[in-house]
Structure formats: C-alpha cells, structure tokens
Amino acid sequence: MSDPYNSAPARPPVAVLNDTMVTTAPELAGYRVVRSLGLVRGITVRSRSVVGNFLGGLQTLFGGNITIYTELCEQARMETYRDMLTHARQLGANAVIAVRYDATELMTGLTEVLCYGTAVVVEPVGG
C-alpha cells in the first residue's frame, strides 16, 4: 500500500543475517554488496580428553569413521561458525561472504579451529 504523503518508493525489507545469508562464494546470489565491514571470525581451541582418546583408539581398531573425533570436530566448527556470526552482527552485517574454516594443531592433542569471512551489508538486486 502506498503512502500518499511520502513519494519515496517502498524499499524491500533488509535481509537478516541467518544461515541463508552466509556463503563460501565471493558474492551472495540475488544480492549486491553495498558496504564491506571487514573480516569477522570465530575461534576455539580444543583438546581431546583421555576418555575421548581411549574411545577413539578403540574405534581405530575397527576402521571406518572415528565418531568421537567427528563429533568433536563438528562441535568446534559449529562453535566457531556461531561466534563468527555474532561478530558479524556486532558490526551491523546482514551477510557474510567468502567463509572459510582453518584448523591448526598447536601441540599434540590441542587444536585451534577458525571460521572466518567478510562481513558485508547487502541489498536485493533491483532493490
């Protein structure tokens, strides 16, 4: 519905930063970047417990997916992803592009997991 007292065209709603507004690509399909806010990241350092190492060692005897380590890795990735989104929201971003993960073994049994990308403000193409 148009406002007869306001001649400005109605603008489409601004996109909200959620999982659909995060991509590993350098751009977000259907949107154009109107402002780059810089690098955002989430980081965690994880260690394997003695129990985890024991159970993981048992699983290696049978081969296949070492589920205890898979779960540990997935928890670390989700935590860093969530922290990256929090950082992006703090900067006022409504999207994150060029997202990447990195992991570094700091010492035996101690691993750093990093999730990072570029926080941006986007608007729908044609908007």
Residue with more model confidence, 6 or 119:
119
Q: What does the pLDDT look like over 8-47, one tens digit per residue? A: 444 455 678 999 999 999 999 999 999 999 999 999 998 7
Report pLDDT for 6: 47
Please give the residue range of the domain that contains residue 84: 19-46+79-124
Domain-embedded: residue 73: no
CA distance 85 to 42: 8
What's the Cα-to-Cα distance from 8 to each of 5, 20, 51, 126, rounded to whole Å?
A: 9, 29, 64, 15
Domain-embedded: residue 114: yes
Total domains present in the chain = 1
Q: What is the pTM of this model?
A: 0.76
The percent of residues in the chain predicted with pLDDT above 90, rounded, is 57
Domain-embedded: residue 69: no
Report pLDDT for 69: 76
Domain-embedded: residue 5: no
H-helix or E-strand spanning residue 119: strand 110-124
Domain-embedded: residue 72: no
pLDDT at residue 7 greater than cutoff 50: no
CATH of the domain at 114: 3.30.110.70
Residue with more model confidence, 53 or 112:
112
Q: Which of the residue ranges 56-65, 80-89, 107-116, 118-127 has the most confident prediction, judged by mean pLDDT? A: 80-89
